[in-house]
Amino acid sequence: MDALVTTDWLANELGASDLRVVDATYVDAATGRDPAAEYERGHIAGAVFMNLGELRDTDTDLPMMLPSAEKFASRMQSLGLGDGSRIVLYDDSPWHTSARAWWMLRTFGAHDVAILDGGLAKWKAEGRELATGKEQLRHRHFTVWSDRKGVRDLDQMKDVVASGNAQVLDARSAARFTGEEADPRPATHAGHMPGAKNLPYGGIFNEDGTYKTGDDLRRAFEDAGIDLDQPIVTTCGSGITASTLAFGLHLLGKDAALYDGSWSEWGADRTTKKVTGA
């Protein structure tokens, strides 16, 4: 299974015994949307709802830090996602949050994971059928496992900035990156990490919400000043849209690391250096 699958491919695979489809839509509560309720009103047949807002470390004030491996495995089992499953993720979020679910699943040991290109919007635009209500779930075994080689913490990022041993790529908007726009989080400085490059996450998508691929995708990263042959760490505001850049790099055969605390940690920490301007 490719990392990026089409609506035609998924429609043909629905019902396969090893296939699990997951709605990974997440939006900020301030939008007034309720992704869980939206899921019940209409989802791809057989899909389960992964609540990313709850699938996090609740022992920290940071918004979207990875949960423990044990918590993650328990939630996956309760969703019927287990060892040997082929997992296809989709979302209906402006932040393309299925990429965050993809990154988490890979971090916790699931490798046969794909994203539906264009998400639920494309599926609906093509007039494909939706199911309503909740799906009946059967627990499946999900092995507790964590591989954090692709995760960076605050101390590691301080070393990256000091040494320049990896490129830092920020997925936030240009105005947030330069500091022209104030950070929405209280007591969080504006700006970016010293030496960071900026590629707003929307830059790796086509107008219809599908991912750019091939030369178009490669050009998006290179135009942002990224050398694809050198190590890369992605970051954003809370670790969500950084995942879209990590997935885009994966499509190009490049496995980037991700700074999980992102700007909500770096920008609020008094010991870190911040830069404003382009």
By annotation, the residues acting in catalysis are 236
Distance CA 125, CA 123 (A): 6
Distance CA 20, CA 22 (A): 7
Distance CA 70, CA 101 (A): 16
Q: DSSP character for 205?
A: B
Distance CA 40, CA 46 (A): 12
Instruction: Evaluate whether 36 touches 146 at the Cβ level (below 8 Å).
Output: no
Q: What contacts 228, CB < 8 A, 6 or more positions away?
A: 218, 221, 222, 249, 252, 254
Measured in degrees and rounded to the nearest 5, phi and psi for residue 231 equal -60, 145
